[in-house]
C-alpha cells in the first residue's frame, strides 16, 4: 500500500492537481481546504506525509505544523510557500518541517521532495529502533551480569563456609567465635565509613582469622594446660600459615592481610611482625577489639562468661595499648543490645544446624546433610 498523504490548501484546484499526480504515483491522498479541518483529521489519523500551504485563512500552515508535530513526530511535513516566501519556508524547517516546496509547483520536484522526506523519516525510525534495541540489550546484559555476580558471591560464601567448617572440625571452640567476631567487626567497620569492598574483606578476614590453626598439631592446639615457650612459638605460626593459605585464593587475597595481622597489637607488642598503630591494617585493629569482646563474654573451661560491662571496662583500659583508641571509641558508642543480638543469632543458627544434622543422621543417612552453608543464616553476602 502506498504512503498516505494529506494535502492542505485553501485553493481546491491546487488540492486537485497534487492529488491527481500523487495518486498516479501510488500515494493514498486526502485533501483539506483549511488547516482547522486538517488539524481535526490529524487527531484521528497519522499520515505518512502532510503537504500544507503556508498562508491560509484561519490558522496558518505553521500552526498546523506545530499541531501535527506534537501528535505525530514521525509524519513527514512539507510546507508550501510562494516563491517570494523562501525565507519563511526555511523558518518552517527550523520549526520542524522536513522540507518546503515553492509555488507554482514543479510536480516532479514535489514527488522528489516527498520521497526524500519519507526516506529521512525511515532512517530516523531505524536509528530510533536501533537505539531502543541497544538499550534493551544493555539492560538485559546488565541483568545477566547481576545474576552471574550473585552466583559468584554465593560460591564465595560456600568456599568461606567450607574453610570455616574445616577449622571447626579441628577446634570446635572456634565455630561460634569466628562467626560472632566477624559480625562484631562488621558493626564497628560500618560505623567507620568503610567502603563496601572493605566491609567484605573485613568480614571475610575476621571470619577466617584462625584458619592457620589447621596446621597446628593436635598436641598443641588441643592441649588443655598451659603451653610451653616452644609450643607457644608453634602456635603463633598460625597467623602466617593462615595467610599463606588464604592469600592463594584470589577472592580472599585482600582479606588475607587481616589473617596475617590479627594478633598484632596497637602498641607494637603483638605478632608476627610487631606492627604498631596505623601500620596494622584497619580490619585487624577492629578485629582486636571484637576478639577480646567475644573472648571475655564467652564461657571458658576455667570461668563463666563475663558481662558486657566488664568487657567494656577492659577494652577501655587497653585503649592505646592493645587497641586503637579510635576503634575503641566506635566500639563504646555501640549499645549492648547489638552485641547481645549477634550472640543470640549465632547461637540460634548453631542449634538449628545441630538439630538438622542429627535429624538427617537418624532418619536417612544416605541422603546426607544439606550444605552447612545453607543452615547458617545470615551469610556473608546477606550481612553486607
Ligand atoms: Fe588467632
- In degrees and rounded to multiples of 5, residue 30 shows phi and psi of -125, 145
- Would the pLDDT of 367 be above 50? no
- Per-residue pLDDT at 162: 87
Please tell me the distance between residue 328's alpha carbon and the centre of ligand 1 in angstroms: 20
State the distance from the centre of ligand 1 to the C-alpha of 259, rounded, in angstroms. 8
pLDDT confidence tier of residue 50, bands split at 50, 70 and 90: very high
Q: How far is the CA of 238 from the centre of ligand 1 (A)?
A: 7
Q: Are 316 and 333 in contact (CB under 8 A)?
A: no
When mean pLDDT is compared across 83-87, 99-103, 261-265, the lowest value belongs to 83-87
The answer for residues whose C-beta is within 8 angstroms of residue 366's C-beta and 6 or more apart is: none
Give distance in angstroms: CA of 324 to centre of ligand 1.
18
Q: 382 C-alpha vs ligand 1 centroid, how far in Å?
A: 25
The DSSP element (H or E) to which 103 belongs, if any, is: strand 99-103
- Report CA(211)–ligand 1 centroid distance (Å): 8
Dig out the grid coordinates for 284 from the structure.
585487624
Is the distance from CB of 289 to CB of 255 less than 8 angstroms? no
Contact 58/47 with Cβ under 8 angstroms?
A: no
Distance 203 CA to ligand 1 centre (A): 15
- Name the pLDDT band for 180 (thresholds 50, 70, 90): very high
- Mind listing the pLDDT tens digit for each residue in 119-138? 999 999 999 999 999 999 99
Question: Which residues have CB under 8 Å from 128's CB, separation 6+?
Answer: none
**Nearest-angstrom CA–CA distance, 2 and 15:** 18
What's the CA-to-centroid distance between 263 and ligand 1, angstroms? 6
How many whole angstroms from 52 Cα to the centroid of ligand 1? 86
pLDDT digits (tens, 9 = 90+) for 92-123: 999 999 999 998 889 999 999 999 999 999 99
Report whether pLDDT(350) > 70: no
Name the least confident of 187-191, 221-225, 281-285: 221-225
More confident residue, 167 or 384: 167
Whether pLDDT at 3 is above 60: yes
pLDDT tens-digit profile of 265-312? Answer: 999 999 999 999 999 999 999 999 999 999 999 988 788 999 999 999
Rounded to the nearest whole angstrom, what is the distance from the C-alpha of residue 318 to the centroid of ligand 1? 18
Alpha-carbon gap, residue 197 to 182, rounded angstroms:
15
Write the burial class of residue 326 (CB in 10 Å: 0-12 exposed, 13-18 middle, 19+ buried).
middle
State the distance from the centre of ligand 1 to the C-alpha of 208, rounded, in angstroms. 9
Quote the CA–CA distance of 333 and 381 in Å, as a whole number. 25
Place of cell 596446621: 215
> Does residue 370 have a pLDDT over 50?
no
Mean pLDDT of 248-259: 92
Spatial strand order of the sheet with 99-103 comes to 28-32, 4-8, 49-53, 76-82, 99-103
191 C-alpha to ligand 1 centroid (Å): 24
Rounded mean pLDDT, 138-166:
90
- Read off the pLDDT of each residue in 189-207 and give the average, rounded to a whole number: 93
- Separation of CA 255 and ligand 1 centre (Å): 15
- Which residues, chain by chain, have CB under 5 Å from ion ligand 1? 210
> Higher confidence at residue 315 or residue 85?
315
Q: Residue 243 pLDDT more than 90?
A: yes
CA 209–ligand 1 middle distance (angstroms): 6
Amino acid at each position: 500500500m502506498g504512503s498516505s498523504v494529506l494535502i492542505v490548501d485553501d485553493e481546491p484546484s491546487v488540492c486537485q492537481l497534487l492529488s491527481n499526480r500523487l495518486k498516479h504515483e501510488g500515494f493514498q491522498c486526502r485533501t483539506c481546504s483549511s488547516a482547522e479541518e486538517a488539524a481535526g483529521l490529524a487527531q484521528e489519523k497519522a499520515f505518512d506525509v502532510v503537504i500544507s500551504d503556508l498562508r491560509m485563512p484561519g490558522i496558518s500552515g505553521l500552526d498546523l505544523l506545530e499541531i501535527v508535530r506534537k501528535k505525530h513526530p514521525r509524519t513527514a511535513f512539507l510546507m508550501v510557500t510562494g516563491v517570494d516566501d523562501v525565507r519563511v519556508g526555511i523558518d518552517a524547517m527550523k520549526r520542524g518541517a522536513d522540507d518546503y516546496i515553492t509555488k507554482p509547483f514543479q510536480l516532479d520536484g514535489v514527488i522528489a521532495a516527498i520521497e526524500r522526506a519519507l526516506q529521512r523519516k525511515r532512517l530516523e525510525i531505524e536509528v530510533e529502533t536501533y537505539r531502543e534495541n541497544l538499550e534493551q540489550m544493555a539492560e538485559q546484559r546488565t541483568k545477566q551480569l547481576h545474576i552471574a555476580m550473585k552466583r559468584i558471591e554465593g560460591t564465595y560464601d560456600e568456599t568461606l563456609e567450607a574453610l570455616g567448617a574445616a577449622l571447626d572440625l579441628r577446634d570446635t571452640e572456634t565455630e561460634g567465635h569466628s562467626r560472632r567476631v566477624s559480625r562484631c567487626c562488621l558493626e564497628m567497620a560500618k560505623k567507620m565509613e568503610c567502603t563496601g569492598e572493605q566491609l567484605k574483606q573485613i568480614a571475610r578476614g575476621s571470619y577466617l582469622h584462625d584458619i592457620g590453626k589447621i596446621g597446628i598439631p593436635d598436641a598443641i592446639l588441643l592441649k588443655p594446660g598451659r603451653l610451653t615457650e616452644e609450643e607457644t612459638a608453634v602456635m603463633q605460626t598460625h597467623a602466617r600459615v593462615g595467610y599463606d593459605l588464604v592469600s592463594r585464593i584470589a577472592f580472599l587475597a585482600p582479606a588475607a592481610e587481616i589473617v596475617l595481622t590479627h594478633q598484632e597489637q596497637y602498641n607494637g607488642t603483638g605478632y608476627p611482625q610487631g606492627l604498631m598503630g596505623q601500620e596494622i591494617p584497619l580490619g585487624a585493629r577492629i578485629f582486636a577489639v571484637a576478639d577480646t569482646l567475644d573472648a571475655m563474654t564467652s564461657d571458658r573451661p576455667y570461668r563463666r562468661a563475663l558481662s558486657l560491662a566488664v568487657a567494656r571496662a577492659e577494652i577501655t583500659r587497653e585503649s592505646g595499648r592493645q587497641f586503637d583508641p579510635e576503634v575503641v571509641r566506635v566500639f563504646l558508642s555501640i549499645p549492648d543490645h547489638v552485641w547481645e543480638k549477634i550472640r543470640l543469632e549465632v547461637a540460634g543458627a548453631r542449634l538449628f544446624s545441630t538439630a538438622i544434622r542429627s535429624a538427617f543422621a537418624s532418619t536417612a543417612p544416605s541422603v546426607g546433610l544439606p550444605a552447612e552453608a545453607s543452615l547458617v543464616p545470615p551469610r556473608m553476602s546477606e550481612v553486607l
